[in-house]
Amino acid sequence: MEKIADLLGHNQPQFNTVTSTTSVQDALYKMYYEHVDYLIVQDNDKFIGILTEHDVAGKVLFTNKSLQQTEVHEFMTTEVPVIREDDAVEYAIQLLDHYKARFLALYEGFKFKAIISAQDLMLQVLRMVVSTGEQRKHSWNY
């Protein structure tokens, strides 16, 4: 059974962070230039949530302020399901489904380590399928 720890070797270090007081406009610029669809929100090196393109798209219509005057904490998601390195990939997928989430926060004890996305999990499942020789119709190399 594959563990989340097996997935971590494939993930790049995550430097896509902002503070909760960063303007949403600046956060969107950062997402664009770093080619990511989410940013990790940290204050004083403490994880407090994530800001996703989905968060911005869903809330931008309901604010009367400009994106430069709107701070990340007004749009971000603070309730992110939590997993650990020794959790199974299958369990992580079940958490995403149960909470209708696209991201999981990875913790080691009380220390935040990373964000695991639904896409990360999907790619790991593909790697598992390819490595076991199942469905060899495609020559994916992940």
Report pLDDT digits (tens) over 68-112: 999 999 999 999 999 999 999 899 999 999 999 999 999 998 999
How confident is residue 133, by pLDDT bands cut at 50, 70 and 90? Answer: low
How confident is residue 127, by pLDDT bands cut at 50, 70 and 90? Answer: confident
**Which conformational region is residue 128 in: left (phi greater than 0), alpha (psi within -120 to 50 degrees), or beta?**
alpha
pLDDT at residue number 79: 94
Instruction: Judge if pTM exceeds 0.85.
Output: no
What percentage of the chain exceeds 90 in pLDDT?
A: 60
* Rounded-to-integer distance, Cα 74 and Cα 29, Å: 17
* Rounded-to-integer distance, Cα 77 and Cα 56, Å: 10
How confident is residue 12, by pLDDT bands cut at 50, 70 and 90? Answer: low
Q: Which fold would CATH assign to domain 4-132?
A: CBS-domain (3.10.580)
* Rounded-to-integer distance, Cα 34 and Cα 76, Å: 18
